[in-house]
Amino acid sequence: MNKYKVLGIAVVTVVTAIVASSCKNKRSPGWEYAPNMYEKIAFDPDQANPNFKDGKTAQLPPAGTTPVGFTRFDYPKTMDGYNQASIEVKSILAPTAKNMEEGKALFMTFCSPCHGKTGEGDGIVTTHGFPPPPSYSKGQSSRGGAMKDLTDGKIYHTITYGLNAMGSYASQLNPEERWKVVLYVHHLQTL
């Protein structure tokens, strides 16, 4: 046997052994180059985590904390929440011409189809059998009191949660936009 033949047999044997052994465990990826590229150190949110008491990675934020950029409105969708907001919640916006103009544009888009362009409660959908909302300037609120006396907090609460046939606008209008609309509703209350 010459030495090349011996070397050839040795190479074939080693390669066969590698190929055969690499297929043994179908779940194993085999030899990984730089495994830290595949196996990251960070936990996935749905992964079990021994670092926390409840063993979960996704933890709730600590009680009483507010995410950056989030505006709190801690008044529940109840009559008590409505009355409490009426006393405590005041607009964060100055009644400038620009805010009024933007409030008007938002009102025309989101509110006028029911409340009407002048807040009389004669919007287009009321001509199709939808119960007409009370006039902002002359009507009575179903929760008591004249519509023209509705406060910042009561209007903001209504936009946030809706009321009976009126839905919530919390997902369409962010807090600042809601305050712009409130500004315009105050204007319509005086008509």
* Residues at the interface with ligand HEC (CB under 6 A): 110-111, 113-115, 131, 133, 141-143, 150, 154-155, 158-159, 163-166, 169, 181, 185
Q: Which is nearer to ligand HEC, 43 or 163 (CB)?
A: 163
Burial class from Cβ neighbours inside 10 Å (0-12, 13-18, 19+) for residue 119 reads buried
Q: Token digits for 49? A: 């985590």
Q: Which is nearer to ligand HEC, 17 or 79 (CB)?
A: 79
Q: Which is nearer to ligand HEC, 49 or 83 (CB)?
A: 83
Q: Which is nearer to ligand HEC, 93 or 150 (CB)?
A: 150
115 vs 80: CA distance, rounded Å:
25
Q: How far is the CB of 55 from ligand HEC (least distance, A)?
A: 44
Q: How far is the CB of 187 from ligand HEC (least distance, A)?
A: 12
Q: How far is the CB of 103 from ligand HEC (least distance, A)?
A: 9
Q: Token digits for 115? A: 């409340």
The partner residues of 56 in beta bridges, in order of sequence, read 48
Q: How far is the CB of 188 from ligand HEC (least distance, A)?
A: 9
Name the residue among 77, 84, 90, 122 with its Cα closest to residue 186. Answer: 90
Q: Which is nearer to ligand HEC, 89 or 150 (CB)?
A: 150
162 vs 142: CA distance, rounded Å:
13
Q: Answer yes or no: are the C-beta atoms of 152 and 182 closer than 8 Å.
A: yes
Q: How far is the CB of 41 from ligand HEC (least distance, A)?
A: 47
How many of the other CB atoms lie within 10 Å of CB of 129? 6
169 vs 156: CA distance, rounded Å:
10
Q: How far is the CB of 110 from ligand HEC (least distance, A)?
A: 4
Q: Which is nearer to ligand HEC, 104 or 154 (CB)?
A: 154
